Structure 1
Amino acid sequence: MKIHNISTENSILNSFIAEMRDINIQKDSMRFRRNIERIGEILGYELSKSLNYTRSKINTPLGTCHMHVIANDIVLCSILRAGVPLHNSLLNYFDKAENAFISAYRHHKNNPESFEIIVEYLACPSLEGKTLILADPMLATGQSMIATYEALKPFGNPEEVHLVSIIGAPEGIKLVEEHFHYDTHLWIGTVDEKLNDKSYIVPGIGDAGDLAFGEKLQQ
């Protein structure tokens, strides 16, 4: 897997991630969602550099010119619910993309420190021969990414796969590296130190879904 860690170079992206982490700023859920969107747009721009382009003739009011435009047939899939702002931000850049949505969440049984990933809802167009962009803000254990990709397999074989996350942990990155094809690209805002005993990223940000949309009742 090809990993693109955008935080290795100084850019405005780091300021947006810093605001997402700040316990005072992240109390403003609207600002938290907007920071996800701003980071997603940066990641989308970086991702766009790796896509295929074709030369196209453009008519202007004063003549014609030739421009190189994206040739990929893109399907953008986000993992609900924290993935919604990230999905919107990528759709701002890949506005001709088809869209897929999937619910994947941690289901805790008797032990609160152990869980399984449950997939309950899925809507997806054909993926055959297309470019799949799979977006999830937090790449913690990597199990949600893998469970989502496995659930998408009946919809066809994409020609290429891009994973997009804002913050990841080394453990989760290692797991997806083992599962996804070596040509898969991971576009990530930053990589943190580790997972804690509850599989949350440290130092991380907390629960992205709760911060974006409010606390939920546990099942």
Structure 2
Amino acid sequence: MTIHNLGEEQSILNQFVLELREVDIQKDAMRFRKNIERIGEILSYELSKSLLYTSLDIKTPLGYKKISVPQHDIVLCSILRAGLPLHQGLLNYFDKAENAFISAYRDHKNNDDDFDIVVNYLASPSIQDKVLVLADPMLATGRTLENTFLALQKHGMPKQIHIVSVIGSSDGVEFIKDIFPENTHLWIAAIDEELNQKSYIVPGLGDAGDLAFGSKL
């Protein structure tokens, strides 16, 4: 797996990550969602550089011009519900992409720190021989991405996989290296070193779904 940790570079991306993490700023849900969307746009731009391109002849009012454009069929797949703002950022740039959505959540059966990942909804086009872009804002343990990939395989096998995340843990990144094909790319805004006892990223930013859309029962 090729890891593109864009937080290691100096860019405006880091300002948006700061605003997601900072406890007073992140209370503004609309701003929180917008910053995730912005990060999705930046990661989309960087991801687009790795795609294959083809040259087209176009007609302008004053002549003709060759322009290189991506030649792939792209499917964007986001994990509900926290993935929705990130999905919108991706869709702002890959506006011709097909779209897939999956519901995956942690099920704490015994109300303790152990949990299973439950997938109970999937809507997806065929991903056979297409470019699959998986959007999961918080890459904690990596098990949600593992179960999402397994569920999607009944819709075909993509020829290329890109994972897009806002914040991940070192453990989660190491875990998915063994799950996804070797030529998979991870595009991420920041990687934190620690997972706590409940498998939340530290320092992280908290629960992205709750911050974006409100608390849940």
TM (normalized to structure 1)? 0.98
Moved >3 Å (runs of 4+): none
Tell me the equivalent position of 2:192. Answer: 192
Percentage identity across paired residues of the two chains: 63
Tell me the equivalent position of 1:88. Answer: 88
The separation in 2 between residues aligned to 1:136 and 1:179, in whole angstroms, is: 15
1:161-214 CA-partner distances (Å, limit 9, x unpaired): 000000000110011001111100000001012100000000000000000000
SS at match of 1:45: helix
Tell me the equivalent position of 1:172. Answer: 172
The separation in 2 between residues aligned to 1:195 and 1:94, in whole angstroms, is: 32
Q: CA RMSD in A?
A: 0.6
Matched, 1:104 2:80: no
Structure 1: runs of 5 or more not aligned: none
What amino acid is aligned across from residue 19 of structure 2 in structure 1? E
User: How far apart are 1:111 and its partner, in Å?
Assistant: 3.6
Count of aligned pairs: 217
Matched, 1:61 2:74: no
Tell me the equivalent position of 2:31. Answer: 31
Tell me the equivalent position of 2:144. Answer: 144
The separation in 2 between residues aligned to 1:49 and 1:211, in whole angstroms, is: 31
Structure 2: runs of 5 or more not aligned: none
Tell me the equivalent position of 1:50. Answer: 50
Tell me the equivalent position of 1:19. Answer: 19
What amino acid is aligned across from residue 41 of structure 2 in structure 1? E
1:55-109 CA-partner distances (Å, limit 9, x unpaired): 0011111111000001010000000000000001100000000000000000111
The separation in 2 between residues aligned to 1:111 and 1:84, in whole angstroms, is: 27
SS at match of 2:178: helix
TM (normalized to structure 2)? 0.99
SS at match of 1:133: strand
The separation in 2 between residues aligned to 1:89 and 1:42, in whole angstroms, is: 8
